[in-house]
Each structure stands twice: as C-alpha cells, then as structure tokens.
Amino acid sequence: MSNGETYGRTIQLFLVDGKPTGLRKATIHGWTGLLFVSGASAFGDLTARDEVDRTGVYILAGPDPDTTGTTRVYIGSGNSVAERIKQSAVKRDFWETAITVTTSDDDMSKGHAEYLEARLIEQTAKAGRVTLDNGTNPDITRRRLPEADIANMEQFLANLRIILPVIGLDMLKPQPKAVSAKASPTSPSVSDEVQFEIRHKSGVSATAVEEDGEFIVLEGSEALKDTGYVQQSYGGLKEKLIADGVLVPQEVPPGTSKLRFAKPWSFSSPSAAAAVVLDRNSNGRLEWKVKGASQTYHDWQQAQAAKQEAAE
C-alpha cells in the first residue's frame, strides 16, 4: 500500500434476532463505540438492552413529512440513552429508525455525551444532507472538556462518520465540492476532474463528474421532458427535482421542450442521473461517456480499476 492511502476497517454488523429487519448491533474492530439500530417493531428490544441503559447519544431518523424524498433526524443525549430515546420517540412521529450510541466499557461521561451531541448537530447541519428536527444548536464552546478528552471525542466522531453510512444514515458526509461550489463544467472545482457527458440526438446536453462515490450532474446541464416514456424507477425523483427548483424550464430557444439544472445535483448512480436527463429508464454506465471521447462510463471505470490493481 502506497503512502497516503488509508487502511481498511472491519465493521461487524450483528443481527441480534437473526432477522435483517430486527435489532442490529454495529461495532468497529478496536473501537469501544457500540451502536444499536432498530425500526419501530424492534424498538422495545432496543431500549431493553443493558448496553443502551448507559450514557451516550441517540438518533431518530425517518422521512421528512415537510419535504418529499428527504430525511429528518433528531439527535439527543442522556445519562440513560434508553430512557431519553423513549421520551423523544413518543414526541415525534416521523421516525422509522432509532440508533443508540454508547460504549462497550461504559466509559462515556455526561460531558462527553453532550459534547458529542453538539458536534453531531453541528456537523449534520453543515453537511446539509438531512433536515434537523432539533430546535436549537448547542454551543460547543460551552461543552468544556480537557484537551485530551476533546481529542478522544473527535476520534469517536470520526468513527461515527465511518459506521453511520454503513447502517444507512449518511448525515455527516460533507456535500461533494461540485455541489457545495455550485459547479458548472468550467468551474475551477471540477475543471481538473474527469467529466462525463450525454449528448442526445434531441440536442439535450448534460455534463457530470463522479466524486467520492456520488455522481453529480453539473449546473447548466439539460434534461428532456414530456417524452411519453414510462418512468418506472426515477419518475418521482424527477418530479421532486422540478418541484424543488433544481430542474427549471429551459427558456431558450422559445418553445423548447427541455429542462435545465439550476444547480448541481448529486445522484446515487449514473443510471439515476441518465434517467432524469433522458426522461426514460436508462443504463447510465453506457449512456454517459467521457467528455470528448467515445469511452463509456463503464469502460472508464474498468480502466481505472485496472490501473489501481497494477499500482498495488
């Protein structure tokens, strides 16, 4: 492994009752952090665990009732996470997933938990991927901890950034730079990146970049509308993008049947992005091509994998 590369981590996900929809226990090898995850049906099993009746933090997550297609979360802490999460769950009806974060050695103090709660709220708000249900942002500067304890809690937070996406909650991950910078194809933040394009016979043109596992269609890209094709997978997503003002009517030339990306948008896959651009179900691995070349996204990805393998 070359200098500068990160090493792999071992995450253990244990199905407590043997069911993928039941109570789950998540840990990282060598870390004292201990997470339990449940849906509403296993919530009683979650709060009955001895490990949850400890000082720590918790997260309630579910669909945002105010904004279709987005997630709402509430973050809290307590001397007994089990008791506090029960109180919070009763007051909120949006949540579908409950997550508790304690330690295997029961070594987290109230001050540690409050600091971690404040940092989680701060980082979640900064990332902007979910809606925070918390009414106020705790002042981190008031969570006075010794320097060594702050360092330990920051490392704890770093491990949460790794494990939370694995259990399905990507609330701490910063937005891709192409999104945060409102990048267009000529923006400095993406000018040196490999860019992909769709140039359709209809005249529609779209440009995208891949960043940290996300596929971002850049500002100014175009999308077809009213093609008449049945959108089995991503029709709802396109309607949401139109409703949210991400996709706006293309005004030039007059009477054109196109939409335009008013800002960059991150998609979960090249196929999701291609389906929105072409207004039909699409294989994005073949529809997207390296800008200025005939190489498909699939062929480019295979070539990158071969280069990485040769370098190891």
**Four-residue CA torsion sign, 291, 185, 165, 237:** negative
- Res 74: pLDDT: 97
- Res 305: pLDDT: 87
Collect all residues with Cβ–Cβ distance below 8 Å to 231 and sequence separation of at least 6: 238, 275, 279, 280, 281
Cβ contact 217:208 at 8 Å: yes
Residue with tokens 């709660």, as numbered in its chain? 117
Collect all residues with Cβ–Cβ distance below 8 Å to 95 and sequence separation of at least 6: 40, 60, 61, 62, 72, 74, 89
Output the DSSP codes for 151-165. HHHHHHHHHHHHHHH
Domain boundaries, the chain: 11-166, 177-311
Q: How confident is the model at residue 256 (pLDDT cuts 50, 70, 90)?
A: low
- Res 268: pLDDT: 85
Q: Which amino acid is at 59?
A: I
**Four-residue CA torsion sign, 259, 262, 264, 267:** negative
Residue with tokens 């005939």, as numbered in its chain? 294
- Res 2: pLDDT: 45
- Res 221: pLDDT: 95
State the Cα torsion 246-182-119-103 to the nearest 10°: 70
Q: Give residue-wise pLDDT tens across range 24-77.
A: 999 999 999 999 999 999 999 999 999 999 999 999 999 988 876 789 999 999
Q: Give residue-wise pLDDT tens across range 92-126.
A: 999 999 999 999 999 999 999 999 999 999 999 98
- Res 169: pLDDT: 93
Q: Give residue-wise pLDDT tens across range 203-227.
A: 899 999 998 888 999 999 999 988 8
Spatial distance between the Cα atoms of 211 and 263, rounded to a whole number of angstroms:
16
Which bin fits 99, alpha (ψ -120 to 50), beta or left (φ > 0)? beta
Q: Give residue-wise pLDDT tens across range 129-140.
A: 899 999 766 666
Mean pLDDT (whole number) for 1-10: 64
Between residues 289 and 244, the one the model is more confident about: 289
Helices (H), 40-109: 43-47, 81-91
- Would you say residue 310 has pLDDT above 90? no
SS3 at position 86:
helix
- Would you say residue 1 has pLDDT above 50? no
Please state whether beta strands 71-78 and 131-132 pair in parallel, antiparallel, or not at all (unpaired).
Answer: parallel
